[in-house]
Amino acid sequence: MTSTPTPSANFAPTAPRSHMRYMIIISLVAALGGFLFGYDTAVISGAIGFLQERFHLGADLTGWAASSLLVGCIFGAAGGGLLGDRFGRRKSLIACAFVFALSGIASAMAGSLAGFAWARFMGGLAIGAASILSPMYIAEMAPARFRGRLVSLYQLAIVMGILIVFFVNLLIQRAGSHEWNVTHGWRWMLASLAVPAVVFGVLLLFVPESPRWLVKRGRNDTALGILTRVNGAEAAGAELSAIGASLSQKQGGWGALLARGCRWPLVIGCLLAVFQQFCGINAIMYYAPEIFKAAGSSTDTAFVQTVTVGIINLVFTFVAIALVDRAGRKPLLVAGSFLQALMLGVAIVAFQGGGILLQVGILGFVAAFAMSTGPVVWIIISEIFPNHIRGRAMAVCTACLWLACLVVAQTFPRLLATLGPGGALGTYAVFSVACGVFVLAAVRETKGRSLEEIVE
pLDDT score of 8:
38
d(CA 196, CA 200): 6
Task: Name the residue among 38, 64, 37 with its Cα closest to residue 52.
Answer: 64
Residue 14: pLDDT over 50: no
Residues of the chain above pLDDT 70, percent: 88
Reported as a single tens digit per residue, the pLDDT across 123-142 is 999 988 998 898 888 888 87
Reported as a single tens digit per residue, the pLDDT across 149-198 is 887 788 788 888 888 988 898 899 888 888 898 888 889 999 999 999 99
- Judge contact between 272 and 262, C-beta under 8 A: no
Mean pLDDT throughout 302-327? 83
Reported as a single tens digit per residue, the pLDDT across 399-417 is 898 889 888 877 887 887 7
Reported as a single tens digit per residue, the pLDDT across 19-52 is 778 888 888 898 888 898 888 877 887 888 888 8
pLDDT score of 4:
38
d(CA 447, CA 243): 19
First-to-final CA distance of the chain: 5
List C-alpha distances in Å: 126 to 31, 64, 69, 194: 14, 19, 10, 13
Q: Which numeric CATH code is attached to 17-207+250-454?
A: 1.20.1250.20
Task: Name the residue among 75, 185, 82 with its Cα closest to residue 127.
Answer: 75
Angle at 48 between CA 93 and CA 289, to 5 degrees: 105
Which letter does DSSP use for residue 386 in this model? Answer: -
Residue 266: pLDDT over 80: yes
Cβ neighbours of residue 23 closer than 8 Å, sequence gap 6 or more: 141, 142, 143, 146, 150, 230
50, 55, 59, 65: CA torsion to nearest 10: -80
List C-alpha distances in Å: 359 to 52, 421, 432: 25, 14, 19
Task: Indicate the average pLDDT of the chain.
Answer: 82
Query: Number of H helices and number of E strands within the chain?
Result: 20, 0
pLDDT score of 248:
65
Query: Could you tell me how far CA 170 lies from the centroid of its own chain?
Result: 23
pLDDT score of 270:
92
Is the pTM for the entire model greater than 0.85?
no
- Judge contact between 398 and 131, C-beta under 8 A: yes
Angle at 425 between CA 419 and CA 427, to 5 degrees: 75
Reported as a single tens digit per residue, the pLDDT across 54-95 is 888 877 787 788 778 888 988 988 888 788 888 888 999 999
d(CA 19, CA 448): 18
pLDDT score of 11:
41
Phi, psi (degrees; rounded to nearest 5) at 322: -70, -30
Task: Name the residue among 76, 74, 73, 6 with its Cα closest to residue 40.
Answer: 73
The domain spans of the chain are 17-207+250-454
